[in-house]
Amino acid sequence: MSHLAALSKLLGSDASLISDPDITASYSRDQAPFASAAAPFAVLLARSAAEISIAMKYANENSIPVVTRGAGSGLSGGANSTADSLVISLEKMNQILEIDRANQIARVQAGVINLDLDTAAKEFGLAYLPDPASRDWSSLGGNAATNAGGMCCVKYGVTGAHVRAMQVVLASGEIIELGKATKKSVTTYDLLHLFIGSEGTLGIITELTLNLEIRPAAPSTLIATFPSVSKAAAAAVALRQYRPSMLEIVDQTTLKAVEAWHPLGFEVAGSVLIMQLDENHSLCEAALETCKQFDLIDGVYSDDPADATDLIRVRKLAYPALERMGATLLDDVALPITKIAEFVERVEKLSKEVNLTIGIFGHAGDGNMHPTIVHDHGDLAAAERAQQAFGQIVEIAQSLGGTASGEHGIGSIKPGFVTKEISKTVIDLQRAVKKVFDPNSILNPGKKIP
């Protein structure tokens, strides 16, 4: 009996097990442009942990690779299927099971979309804070599996800081619970956070208990222009004293791309910082004074929520403006915040060497930069240079004490860089951990660790 027939029999005729190649092909890739992918033999649109358990047990006993898929918004090839794999999609497991106002938690199925939870929490005066730019379509399971970040994470921390407990289906098919709904727990080793950022290589997250916060007040927004990125980056370090709930940077290359599309008046700026404060709004004036120590060209702020949309527009347009110029490769590295200026200077130098536009923007407040390489559509030589530059950017970050990925994950595109920042002993420990959870190496093989 084929694997498809056997699985179909085990799961029952009402299971959504898809084998039509035209449909399964649409489940074979995430949003990473040059990551490899191969057709899965089937896609299971799972409806419950029990169903996943049955499929996993069968896959494990028959050494079938299993690729877990949330919404497929990833940027590292993490959800890309490998040859003859079974893709297990969580998209149908999209129920918010409980919102407990008194304990400030939500219990959700892993396929719930990030923004759907925040919208539901709003009704209770609460908020689910982690805010990846993909929050209107990425899943909470995918967010946990990549430890997704976002703009407010400079103050509130990345996804992992908001996960209290989870249900996981192991490679063996066994269903386990990790963590507690309590705000604090130090009982036994913290296996819960081992699963945060594990990118589908240790098990499938089926349910999450998430922290909800009292909804912060509408923020004040400040925008400041500087003559150079090094001045803006130095100002960003100083501005952290005000506990910003957003602190973003945009470089001149990206500003020019935005100006060419939507003129916003940034043509003379070398760099822009955008900051939000959601607690002490009166500190905006002091923050502006601080900016003056770093050769501020111009700065404005407002506590009117209607103005915020205008003031953060340049940051929101950063990536789409670069996308308009050609094919893009969006990198993701994290650095010590004090190294941002040097990093940007070295990437600008690289841009000249490889003769490609590289716009840089990112989360200045936590050192997470997104250099975006642009090349002409259909120019294969330029595409090749862009791919090499993508790796060189990672190496620049690593040489400055940074890391290969701040939030998008290692996936299938960056395992080769891991050994440049992690010792062999630690890699061996990581492989040993993987073996404990996935002895037959069926879960997302070739991803996350080398």
Ligand X SMILES: Cc1cc2nc3c(=O)[nH]c(=O)nc-3n(C[C@H](O)[C@H](O)[C@H](O)COP(=O)(O)OP(=O)(O)OC[C@H]3O[C@@H](n4cnc5c(N)ncnc54)[C@H](O)[C@@H]3O)c2cc1C
> Within 422-441, which residues bind ligand X (CB under 6 A)?
none
Query: Is 412 a residue that touches ligand X (CB under 6 A)?
Result: no
Q: Shortest distance, CB of residue 317 to ligand X, whole angstroms? A: 13
Contacts (Cβ under 8 Å, ≥6 apart) of 114: 128, 130, 131, 132, 134, 135, 136, 138, 139, 140, 143
Residue 449 CA to residue 422 CA, distance in Å, equals: 10
Residue 443 CA to residue 450 CA, distance in Å, equals: 14
The one among 18, 35, 45, 71 contacting ligand X by CB under 6 A: 71
For residues 230 and 341, is the Cβ–Cβ distance under 8 A? yes
The one among 7, 43, 55, 75 contacting ligand X by CB under 6 A: 75
The one among 53, 109, 146, 254 contacting ligand X by CB under 6 A: 146
The DSSP call for residue 425 is H
Q: How many residues bind ligand X (CB under 6 A)?
A: 37
Helix axes 229-239, 283-292, angle to 10 degrees: 140
**DSSP per position, 5-18:** HHHHHHH-TTS-EE
**Residue of closest CB approach to ligand X:** 142
Query: Is 251 a residue that touches ligand X (CB under 6 A)?
Result: no
Q: Shortest distance, CB of residue 180 to ligand X, whole angstroms? A: 19
Give the residue with the Cβ less far from ligand X, 157 or 227: 157
| Residue 148, φ and ψ in degrees, nearest 5 | -60, 145
Q: How does 310-336 read in b/e, with b if 16+ C-beta sit within 10 Å?
A: ebbebbebbbebbeebbbbbbbbbbbe
Query: Is 143 a residue that touches ligand X (CB under 6 A)?
Result: yes
Query: Is 134 a residue that touches ligand X (CB under 6 A)?
Result: yes
Pattern 86-105, ligand X, x by CB under 6 A: ----x---------------
Helix (H, G, I), strand (E, B) or coil at 274: strand
Query: Is 40 a residue that touches ligand X (CB under 6 A)?
Result: no
Query: Is 73 a residue that touches ligand X (CB under 6 A)?
Result: yes
User: Per the structure block, which two tokens stand in for 246?
Assistant: 């957003």
Query: Is 179 a residue that touches ligand X (CB under 6 A)?
Result: no
| Residue 339, φ and ψ in degrees, nearest 5 | -100, 0
Q: Shortest distance, CB of residue 69 to ligand X, whole angstroms? A: 5
The one among 199, 248, 259, 366 contacting ligand X by CB under 6 A: 199
Residue 328 CA to residue 349 CA, distance in Å, equals: 18
Q: Shortest distance, CB of residue 91 to ligand X, whole angstroms? A: 9
Name the segment binding ligand X (CB under 6 A); options: 140-148, 176-184, 185-193, 258-266.
140-148
Query: Is 72 a residue that touches ligand X (CB under 6 A)?
Result: yes
Residues at the site binding ligand X, with contacts judged by CB under 6 A:
30-31, 67-75, 78-79, 90, 110, 132-134, 138-139, 141-143, 145-146, 148-150, 199-200, 204-205, 407-409, 411, 444
